[in-house]
Amino acid sequence: MLKIKDLHARVDGKDILKGLTLEVAAGEVHAIMGPNGAGKSTLAQVLAGREGYEIVSGSVEYLGQDLLELAPEERAREGVFLAFQYPVEIPGVNNVYLLKAALNAIRKHRGEDELDAYAFMKIVREKMKLMQMDPSFLNRGVNEGFSGGEKKRNEILQMAVLEPKLALLDETDSGLDIDAMKVVAEGVNSLRSPERAIVMVTHYQRLLDHIVPDVVHVLADGRIVKSGDRSLALELEERGYDWLQKAVGT
Amino acid sequence: MATNEHELEHLVSRKYKHGFFTEIEADTVPPGLNEDVIRFISAKKNEPEWMTEWRLKAYRHWLTMPEPKWAHVHYPPIDFQAISYYSAPKRPEDAPKSLDEVDPKLLETYDKLGIPLHERARLAGVAVDAVFDSVSVTTTFKEKLAEAGVIFCSFSEAVQEHPELVRRYLGSVVPARDNFYAALNSAVFTDGSFVYIPKGVRCPMELSTYFRINAANTGQFERTLIVADEGSHVSYLEGCTAPMRDENQLHAAVVELVALKDAEIKYSTVQNWYPGDEEGRGGIYNFVTKRGDCRGANSKISWTQVETGSAITWKYPSCILRGDNSVGEFYSVAVANNLQQADTGTKMIHIGRNTRSTIISKGISAGRAQNAYRGLVRVLPTAEGARNFTQCDSLLIGDRCGAHTFPYIEARNPSAQIEHEATTSKIGEDQLFYCLQRGLSEEDAVNMIVNGFCKEVFRELPMEFAVEAQALLNVSLEGAVG
Ligand SMILES: Nc1ncnc2c1ncn2[C@@H]1O[C@H](COP(=O)(O)OP(=O)(O)OP(=O)(O)O)[C@@H](O)[C@H]1O
Ligand SMILES: [Mg+2]
C-alpha cells in the first residue's frame, strides 16, 4: 500500500529525513517509535502533504500512485488520514459541519452521492457512541476549548467517520487518561481491516497492549534504524534508544 | 407655496434661456454643482420651499467645509464639479432587454450566489416589466402595511404625502452640517426610503428596499429616514448581496433612525458595491453617514452590517443613546480584498442613564487590502451607570494585507463600565492544512474558517439574509488564498 524509498526531506534548510525507507502493506498495523526530534511528525506531515517541507530525493508510492505528486486534499480524498499530534482549533466552525464537508468531499471524489443531513447524522451518532463522546461536542467549534484528551478523541472520531485507507496517527495516545486510551484503541481497532493500513507514532509501549502492531520500527535521526515485532517495543521500554543509536553509528 | 414653486420654475427656466441647460435633455443637468443645480433638483421633485431652503443651507455650509482626510484610506482627489447631480431614472428603452445582453461575468456571480432567475434580471437592470411582474407581490405587501398603518415609501413621495413628518425628523439625527459628505448629501440627495411606524405597532414584516419600486434608481446620494414611534418595532433590510455596479463612483448616503420611547429599530445591511477590478480600477467610493437616535427611554437601535464591496468604504453607523435605559448595538463584518480599503466602525454616545451598548466588529483583509476599525465610545457626565462592551477581531488572509484598530474611549462619568477586547489573527496555515487534510478544497476551507470567524455577526441577521451573506462572503474572497 505504502512504499517509501530513501526519502530525504528538509525544513528551513535543515535536513530532517535522511534516507527513510519503509513499506506498509494493506491490513497491517505499524508502530513507529523513536526519540524526540527524530523526525516522526515530519514523516507524517510529509506524507500528508504539508507545505514547507522540501523533498530532496526519494519516492513515496501509495496504492500505485506517486503520493508526492498529489495535493494535500487529493491525498485525503484518496484515503490518507492524519490524526495530528496537535489538532488545531477553528473557532466558530461547527465540529459536525467540518466533518460533513469532509465526508462529502471524499464521497464526491469517489463518485458517491453526497449524504443528506439525516444519513450523515446517523453515521456520526454511531461513531460518537463508539468513541464515548457526548453529542454536545458536535455543535462546538472544531477543537475549540477542547481538553488535550478530547482533541485526540475527536481526531479518532473523524477517522472513524471518514474511514481512510491509510491512517497516520501521530502520538494519538499522548495526553490520554487510561480509560480514554482504551476508548481510542477500541476506535482504532474497529477500523482494522484487510484493506486498511495504520501507522501509529507513539512513545509508549502501553498503547501497543491495546492496539497490537504487526511491525515496530525505530526512527532515529531521520531514518528507520531498526524494525521488529512487538517485542522490540518491550526492549525499547527497558533499554531506551541509546544502544540503538550507538549500534548504527549515528 | 404656489408662488414659490412658480418662482422656482421661473428661475430654472431662466437658466434654460441663458443656455445653461440647452445642450442636454431636460431631465439631466451637466456636471457641476451650484445653487441653480440644487434648485433644479428641488423643482424637479416638486418640493416645498422649506425643503429647497434646507438643501441650499446645507450647500452653503458644505462650501465652507474641508474634505475629511483622516480616514485610513487613500484615493485620488474627487472633483465635485465633474459629477452630474441629477439624472432622471433610466428609461426602459435604455436598459438591457433581456439577460442575454448582460455581462456574462455578472451572471456567473449571480449563479454562484444562488440568486433566483427572475431576480437576476432585476438586479442586472433589465427593464423590469419586460421580464417579470412584481406588481402582485408588491400590492399584497402594501396592503398589509397599510392595514397596520405603517408608512413605507420613497423619500420623494414622503415629502409630498407626509411633509409634516419629514419636516419634523429630517436632519434631526444627522444635521445637514454634520460632516462633509452629509452636507453634500443634504444639498443634492435625490431619493431614498421613508418609514414611519405608528405608536405601538409591530411592523408585520421585514421592510426591505427590495419591495420599494424604483429602489434601484435612488442614485448616488441616497437619503433614508426611519421613525419608530413609541412602543413600535421594525426590522429594515438594506441592500442586496448581488454585486451592484454603478457608473457613479462616489456614493454618499445618509441614513437617519429615530426610536422614540420603548421603540426598537433593527437595521441590517448587506452591501456589495462593485469593488473595482484587481487593481482597484472603477470601484465605488462609499462614504456613508448612518446614525440612530434612541430618543426615548428604553428604546433600542441595532445595526448589523456585512460589507464586502466598494473600492473605498468610509462608514460609521452610530447610536446616540439619549433615552434612559436605551440600548445601542453594532454588529459588523467588513471584508476587504485585493486593493479595497475599508475604514468602518461605530460611535456609541451615552447620554441617558443606564444606557448600554455592544459593539462586535469583525474585519477580514485579504490580498493587499487595508481594513481599519475606528470606534468611539463616549460616556457623558449624565450617563450614570452606562455600560459598553466592544469586541473587535481582525482576520488576515495572506501577508500583504493589513488590519488597524483605532478605539477611542471617553468616559466622563465615573460609574461607566467599558470593556474592550481586540484580537488579530491570521488564517493559520495550520487551520488551512487541517481542513485540506480532511479533504476540503482550499476555497471551501477558507470559506469555512471565515464564516466561523463571522458567526457572532451572522447570527444577528434575519435568516434568509444570513444565508445570502455567507454565500456573498465566499464569493468575495474567491482567490484570496493561493
Ligand atoms: N520549521 C522548522 N525549522 C527548523 N527545524 C524544524 C522545523 N520543523 C521541525 N524541525 C525540526 O525537525 C526535527 C524533527 O521534528 P519532528 O517534529 O518530526 O520530531 P518528532 O520525531 O515528531 O519528535 P517528538 O517525539 O518530540 O514529537 C526537530 O529537531 C525539529 O526541531
Ligand atoms: Mg512528533
Q: Could you report the per-residue pLDDT of A134-167, keeping only the tens digit for each?
A: 888 888 899 999 988 899 999 999 999 999 999 9
pLDDT at residue number B383: 97
Closest CA to A129 of A164, A95, A160, A173: A160
C-alpha A162/C-alpha B229 separation (Å) is 56
What mean pLDDT do residues A187-206 have? 93
Of the ranges A216-225, B25-34, B276-285, which is most confident?
A216-225
Other C-beta atoms closer than 10 Å to the C-beta of B146 total 11
Grid cell locating B252: 454618499
> Which residue carries 451592484 as its cell?
B244
Ligand 1 mean position, distance from CA A43 (Å) = 10
Please report which residue ranges of B30-153 form alpha helices under DSSP H: 35-44, 49-63, 104-113, 117-123, 128-131, 135-148
Pairing of strands B193-197, B151-154: antiparallel
C-alpha B121/C-alpha B117 separation (Å) is 7
Other C-beta atoms closer than 10 Å to the C-beta of B151 total 17
What mean pLDDT do residues B315-333 have? 95
Does A11 contact ligand 1 (Cβ within 6 A)? yes
The partner residue sitting opposite B436, judged by closest CB among A76, A81, A93, is A76
Which DSSP category does B220 fall into? Answer: S
For residue A21, give every residue at least 6 positions away whose Cβ sits within 8 Å of its Cβ, in sequence order, or none: A4, A5, A6, A7, A223, A224
B452:A88 CB<8 A:
no
Of the ranges A183-197, B104-118, B452-466, which is most confident?
A183-197
C-alpha A64/C-alpha B471 separation (Å) is 39
Mutation choice for ligand 1 from A18, A41, A173, CB with most ligand atoms inside 8 A: A41
Report in angstroms the alpha-carbon separations of B403 from A45, B292, B432: 31, 27, 20
B418: β partners = B388
pLDDT at residue number B6: 46
SS (H, E, C) B262-318: CCEEEEEEEECECCCCCCCCCCCEEEEEEEEEECCCCCEEEEEEEECCCCEEEECCE
pLDDT at residue number B340: 76
Q: Does any CB of chain B come closer than 8 Å to the CB of residue A145?
A: no
Give percent of chain B above pLDDT 90: 41
pLDDT at residue number B125: 52
Q: Residue with the nearest Cα to atom 27 of ligand 1?
A: A36
What mean pLDDT do residues B172-177 have? 96
Atom of ligand 1 nearest to the CA of A44: 18
pLDDT at residue number B119: 59
A101:B444 CB<8 A:
yes
pLDDT at residue number B3: 39
What mean pLDDT do residues A19-48 have? 96
pLDDT at residue number B133: 33
Atom of ligand 1 nearest to the CA of A12: 3
What mean pLDDT do residues B215-234 have? 82
pLDDT at residue number B19: 26
Ligand 2 mean position, distance from CA A88 (Å) = 15
- Mind telling me how many Å the CA of B456 is from chain A's nearest CA? 8
- Mind telling me how many Å the CA of B440 is from chain A's nearest CA? 6
Band (B4; pLDDT cuts 50, 70, 90)? very low
Ligand 1 mean position, distance from CA B218 (Å) = 61
C-alpha B96/C-alpha B46 separation (Å) is 30
In degrees, to the nearest 5, what angle opens at C-alpha A52 toward C-alphas A47 and A57? 60
B364: β partners = B335, B395
Report in angstroms the alpha-carbon separations of B8 from A202, B47, B96: 88, 10, 36
pLDDT at residue number B296: 97
Host H or E run for residue B347: strand B341-350
- Mind telling me how many Å the CA of B450 is from chain A's nearest CA? 9
pLDDT at residue number B334: 87
Residues of chain A with Cβ-Cβ distance to B431 below 8 Å are 88, 90
Q: Helices A178-191 and A148-162 meet at what angle, rounded to 10?
A: 10
For the stretch A44-88, pLDDT in tens is 999 999 989 999 999 999 999 999 999 999 999 999 999 999 999
- Residue span of the structural domain in which A41 resides: 2-248
pLDDT at residue number B309: 67
The partner residue sitting opposite B439, judged by closest CB among A50, A77, A91, is A77
Ligand 1 mean position, distance from CA A187 (Å) = 28
pLDDT at residue number B116: 59
Q: Residue with the nearest Cα to atom 30 of ligand 1?
A: A37
For the stretch B297-312, pLDDT in tens is 999 999 999 887 667 7
Cα-Cα-Cα-Cα dihedral of B109, B115, B117, B119, to 10°? -110
For residue B137, give every residue at least 6 positions away whose Cβ sits within 8 Å of its Cβ, in sequence order, or none: B211
C-alpha B395/C-alpha A163 separation (Å) is 33
For residue A122, give every residue at least 6 positions away whose Cβ sits within 8 Å of its Cβ, in sequence order, or none: none
C-alpha B359/C-alpha B347 separation (Å) is 9
C-alpha B279/C-alpha B295 separation (Å) is 44
Is the CB of residue B334 less than 8 Å from the CB of residue B307? yes
C-alpha A15/C-alpha A105 separation (Å) is 34
Q: Helices A117-130 and A148-162 meet at what angle, rounded to 10?
A: 130
Band (A213; pLDDT cuts 50, 70, 90)? very high
Tell me which residues of chain B have a C-beta less than 8 Å from any C-beta of chain A: 428-431, 433-442, 444, 448-449, 451-456
Residues of chain A with Cβ-Cβ distance to B434 below 8 Å are 84, 87-88, 90, 142
pLDDT at residue number A171: 93
* SS3 state of residue B201: coil
Name the more confident of B369 and A2. A2
Closest CA to A205 of A232, A233, A185, A180: A233
The yes-or-no verdict on residue B137 having pLDDT over 60 is: no
> Which residue carries 460533513 as its cell?
A100
Strands (E), A25-89: 29-33, 53-62, 65-66, 80-83
Q: Taking CB atoms and an 8 Å cut-off, how many pairs form between chains A and B?
A: 79
Q: Does any CB of chain B come closer than 8 Å to the CB of residue A87?
A: yes
The yes-or-no verdict on residue B432 having pLDDT over 80 is: yes
For the stretch B181-191, pLDDT in tens is 999 999 999 88
Band (B127; pLDDT cuts 50, 70, 90)? very low
Strands (E), chain A: 2-11, 14-24, 29-33, 53-62, 65-66, 80-83, 90-94, 141-142, 166-170, 197-201, 215-220, 223-228
- Mind telling me how many Å the CA of A107 is from chain B's nearest CA? 10
Phi-psi region of B224 (alpha: psi -120 to 50; beta: other; left: phi over 0): beta
C-alpha B42/C-alpha B348 separation (Å) is 34
How many structural domains comprise chain A?
A: 1
CATH (domain of A53): 3.40.50.300
CA B308 from chain centre, in angstroms, equals 12
> Which residue carries 465633474 as its cell?
B82
Residues of chain A with Cβ-Cβ distance to B429 below 8 Å are 51-52
Grid cell locating B200: 405601538
Band (B5; pLDDT cuts 50, 70, 90)? very low
C-alpha B5/C-alpha A148 separation (Å) is 77
Residues of chain A with Cβ-Cβ distance to B435 below 8 Å are 90, 98, 102
B438:A76 CB<8 A:
yes
- Mind telling me how many Å the CA of B441 is from chain A's nearest CA? 6
* SS3 state of residue A162: helix
Band (B115; pLDDT cuts 50, 70, 90)? low
Cα-Cα-Cα-Cα dihedral of A33, A37, A39, A41, to 10°? 80
Mean pLDDT of chain B: 80
Report in angstroms the alpha-carbon separations of B414 from B376, B381, B390, B409: 17, 8, 18, 13
Looking at all shown ligands, the one closest to residue A16's CA atom is 1
Does A222 contact ligand 1 (Cβ within 6 A)? no
Q: Is the pTM of this model over 0.80?
A: no
Output the DSSP codes for B150-185. Answer: -EEEEHHHHHHH-HHHHHHHTTSSS-TTSSHHHHHH
Residues of chain A with Cβ-Cβ distance to B441 below 8 Å are 73, 105
Q: Residue with the nearest Cα to atom 13 of ligand 1?
A: A37
The yes-or-no verdict on residue B255 having pLDDT over 90 is: yes
C-alpha B91/C-alpha B451 separation (Å) is 40
Is the CB of residue B278 less than 8 Å from the CB of residue B315? no
Is the CB of residue B293 less than 8 Å from the CB of residue B328? no
For the stretch B44-98, pLDDT in tens is 889 999 999 999 999 999 999 998 876 666 777 788 888 878 765 555 455 556 6
For residue A39, give every residue at least 6 positions away whose Cβ sits within 8 Å of its Cβ, in sequence order, or none: A16, A17, A20, A219, A221, A222
Dihedral sign, CA of B434, B440, B443, B445? negative
Ligand 2 mean position, distance from CA A186 (Å) = 23
Dihedral sign, CA of A136, A139, A144, A150? positive
Does A38 contact ligand 1 (Cβ within 6 A)? yes
The yes-or-no verdict on residue B424 having pLDDT over 60 is: yes
Grid cell locating B290: 448612518
For the stretch B281-295, pLDDT in tens is 667 788 889 999 999
For residue B167, give every residue at least 6 positions away whose Cβ sits within 8 Å of its Cβ, in sequence order, or none: B50
Is the CB of residue B172 less than 8 Å from the CB of residue B293? yes
- Site from A93, A151, A168 to mutate, B interface, most B CB atoms within 10 angstroms: A93
> Which residue in A has a C-alpha nearest to residue B434's C-alpha?
A88
